[in-house]
Structure 1
Amino acid sequence: MNRFRSFYREIIHSQDLDLALATMNKDKLERGQMVFVSAEGWFEELMLEYLTNAAHPKELKAAAMRIFRKSRSEGATLTLGETKRQLVKNRPQIARGYFSEFFMVGHIPENAQRFGVLLSAMEVTIKKTTPC
């Protein structure tokens, strides 16, 4: 964490990227390496990981079962099939919600336009991978 602190402290004070990188590199890592990823790249990687694992149809079935059992215990009358259909129906909206949170659209509205191409691409990916 010291490397990040020193990098951001220097970039904020000097607004000199080369100086900030040099300052950060004074602190050596004990292991591993630094990796720089754009916000777009990181969001895309996270969303693809989510779609591959947590939002995969098999996981959606398990999630539907958990929600179904909990809602039944609370007196809801939804069937397991209805619960599954609702999860699949909501799946295309996942990207928009995570996008707004990740890119802080509520605080920085212009980010919606700045990163909008990425959102559109993620929505297409979700539609392609959503079961009918």
Structure 2
Amino acid sequence: MTIETSVAYKMYLVQREVIKHYNRNKLKPYNISYQHYLVLMVLLESGPLPVLRLGEKLAFQSGTITPIIKKMELRGLIERARAQEDERIVHVLLTAEGRHLIEQLNHVPEEMLAVAKLTPREFASLMHISRKIVNNMRYY
């Protein structure tokens, strides 16, 4: 097997191109990174989350999530609040500005699908295969 026929290499290339397109073409006008976009998406879908849970949902390492949260907090997109029941737990929640920004970006996933030029069947297959690979690798 060569690097060109390696599944891992091909997935790496796909990830790299997708993130590059997000950053250069979709998110740059809003002055946010792909990682920031993911945080906003998760918080919009899930509501406030503890920092550790947010990091887990995004598969970020603990050293990665904190600087992202700090930058986003400085921009006024999110805020942190200690849990009343246990002050050791810090929740992350969207601010009104963060909610407004992510709602402005609700067209992006459909545009990215259009750029990828996948048919609905190809998209469904990609989602199925991606879930299968993640689940198989995670529980191997």
> TM-score scaled to structure 2, two decimals?
0.29
> TM-score scaled to structure 1, two decimals?
0.31
Which is greater in Rg? 1
More strand by share: 2
